């Protein structure tokens, strides 16, 4: 794996996590340029003839979250985030990030059920200094999935490939 592309992917994931925690969204201003630059980078950097590496990773990243998105389990920004990471880290890595991210999302969901006060106070979400309040209902739409995607990428870096 290309270390420069992995570092860019990690930076994208960190920024997306911060914006998802503070603004409750992953902005297009982050994901669209990240997708385009990842694809462009791999087209230019393909010394071994794998110019489609970024395109394949981008498409696979989007397809992996298409069903959860259609069920309302993740937002469109999360789909574009995984696509952007796929454009940078490639198809094999994005599959692993998806699996690790699903595990992180499951843990995050359980924490939201076990710790009901997180649904109303969420002090760890208040990085921006704004008071955010959430409904008393447990809702997967309230869980910032960029955190899970970021966790999936970090676990992939630390633990390696599953597939």
Position 116 confidence tier, pLDDT thresholds 50, 70, 90? low
pTM of the predicted protein model: 0.84
Which DSSP letter does residue 137 get? S
List pLDDT tens digits, range 9-24.
999 999 999 999 999 9
What is the pLDDT, as a whole number, of residue 124?
A: 46
Q: How far apart are CA 110 and CA 141, in angstroms?
A: 14
List pLDDT tens digits, range 47-103.
777 789 999 999 999 999 999 999 998 999 999 999 999 999 999 999 999 999 999
What is the pLDDT, as a whole number, of residue 138?
A: 43
> In sequence order, which residues have a C-beta less than 8 Å from that of residue 27 and are 6 or more positions away?
19, 77
What is the pLDDT, as a whole number, of residue 117?
A: 61
Strands (E), the chain: none
Q: What angle do CA 157, 160, 162 make, to 5 degrees?
A: 130
One-letter-per-residue 3-state SS of 53-85: HHHHHHHHHHHHCHHHHHCCCCCHHHHHHHHHH
Place of tokens 């970024």: 54
What is the pLDDT, as a whole number, of residue 133?
A: 47
List pLDDT tens digits, range 122-152.
444 444 455 444 444 444 447 899 999 999 9
Which DSSP letter does residue 112 get? H
For residue 2, the number of C-alpha atoms closer than 13 Å in the C-beta half-sphere is 21
pLDDT at 156 over 80: yes
Q: How far apart are CA 152 and CA 78, in angstroms?
A: 13
């Amino acid at each position: 794996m290309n270390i420069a592309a992995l570092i860019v992917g990690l930076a994208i994931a960190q920024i997306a996590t911060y914006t998802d925690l503070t603004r409750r969204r992953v902005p297009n201003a982050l994901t669209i340029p990240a997708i385009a630059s990842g694809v462009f980078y791999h087209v230019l950097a393909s010394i071994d003839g794998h110019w489609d590496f970024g395109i394949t990773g981008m498409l696979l990243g989007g397809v992996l979250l298409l069903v959860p998105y259609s069920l309302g389990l993740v937002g469109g920004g999360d789909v574009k985030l995984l696509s952007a990471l796929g454009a940078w880290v490639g198809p094999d890595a994005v599959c692993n990030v998806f699996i690790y991210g699903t595990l992180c999302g499951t843990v995050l969901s359980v924490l939201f059920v076990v710790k009901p006060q997180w649904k109303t106070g969420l002090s760890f979400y208040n990085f921006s200094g704004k008071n955010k309040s959430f409904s008393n209902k447990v809702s997967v739409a309230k869980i910032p999935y960029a955190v899970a995607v970021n966790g999936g990428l970090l676990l992939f870096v630390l633990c390696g490939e599953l597939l």
